[in-house]
Amino acid sequence: MTTATYTVTGMTCGHCVSSVKEEVGEVPGVTGVEVDLATGLMTVESDSPLDTARIRAAVEEAGYEVADKR
Amino acid sequence: MTTATYTVTGMTCGHCVSSVKEEVGEVPGVTGVEVDLATGLMTVESDSPLDTARIRAAVEEAGYEVADKR
């Protein structure tokens, strides 16, 4: 199992968190997504390493930005 | 037609606005709801005057507060 962490910016409430989790959760290979609203920390679990660009695109699809991959 | 305006607090994004509009829109008699995120101004249209308590309850059901009826 692979765990990658990112910083997501622009989220202001629980609805935003839900949107990000939903979009990232739909990326093929993703098995789990956790997002902390206060810090913007997003933890993505997958069976194998994923292309960061796919995760970034999903976050942007939800309407937010990946500031950096930690 | 009756128009009543309220100040709603706690909304931080467009998802919040959608939640408020959905809940208030379900109150019997309501024919239209507009919400401005920046100011918190909510305008509720109805065929006849509505009980403020019903509107307040709907906003709270969405997870926000009515600060005052203007």
Asked whether the predicted pLDDT for residue A69 surpasses 90, the reply is no
Is the CB of A13 inside 8 Å of chain B's CB atoms?
yes
pLDDT of residue A44: 97
Confidence of residue A70 (pLDDT cuts 50, 70, 90): low
Mutate which of B8, B9, B12 to disrupt the A interface (most A C-beta within 10 Å)? B12
For residue A35, what are the domain limits? 2-69
Is the CB of A8 inside 8 Å of chain B's CB atoms?
no
Q: Give how many domains chain A has, as a whole number.
A: 1
Interface confidence, given as ipTM, is: 0.72
Q: Tell me, what CATH number does B38's domain have?
A: 3.30.70.100
| Shortest CA gap B22–chain A (Å) | 14
Report the phi/psi class of residue B40: left, alpha or beta, with left for phi > 0 and alpha for psi in -120 to 50.
Answer: left
Q: Which helix (H) or strand (E) holds B44?
A: strand B41-46
Residue type, A7: T
